Amino acid sequence: MGKRMTQVWKIALILISLLTALNSRGEMVSDVESIYMGSCIACHGSDGTGAMPGVHDLTDPNGALKKSDQELFAVIRQGIDSSSGGIVMPPNGGNKNLTDAEISGLVRYLRTTFGSNELGPKPNIGD
């Protein structure tokens, strides 16, 4: 193979791997993120700290994200009848079409976006 041909192949390979990487990343992030933006953000806020009275801070290291994946899944599926009065968390965040896979994705999204430490609770310094 000539030198020129080798270069063409190299460039083609780089382009293909770049496109593949962009595509798989883009899908993973945007799917769940857009669900959060569409169904959850109104009450939980873009930073997870809560945008409505009675909605707790999801970024609190001693808050909801201490619960297990299964518990969080169940909460999102079933919603919460808020005892703090006023606002209620609707089942599926009000999004009837939410699939199991999407809820699992949301649990992961909450952990990676608002969790202080994926491996466990962080010590509460100065709190």
Q: Least distance in Å: CB of 71 to ligand HEC?
A: 6
111 is a site residue for ligand HEC (CB under 6 A): no
Cβ atoms of residues 77 and 92 within 8 Å: yes
Q: Least distance in Å: CB of 5 to ligand HEC?
A: 52
Dihedral of the alpha carbons of 100, 106, 107, 113, in degrees to the nearest 10: 170
Applying CB under 6 A, among 105, 106, 114, 115 the residue interacting with ligand HEC is 106
Q: Least distance in Å: CB of 40 to ligand HEC?
A: 3
- Using CA atoms, how far apart are residues 81 and 88, in angstroms rounded to an integer? 5
101 is a site residue for ligand HEC (CB under 6 A): no
Give me the numbers of helices (H) and strands (E) for the chain, helices first please.
Answer: 4, 0
A 10 A CB-CB count for 102 gives 18
Question: 114: part of which helix (H) or strand (E)?
Answer: helix 100-114
Question: How many of the chain's residues bind ligand HEC (CB under 6 A)?
Answer: 24
51 is a site residue for ligand HEC (CB under 6 A): no
Binding site for ligand HEC (CB under 6 A): 39-40, 42-44, 54-56, 64, 67, 72, 75-76, 80, 82, 87-90, 93-95, 106, 110
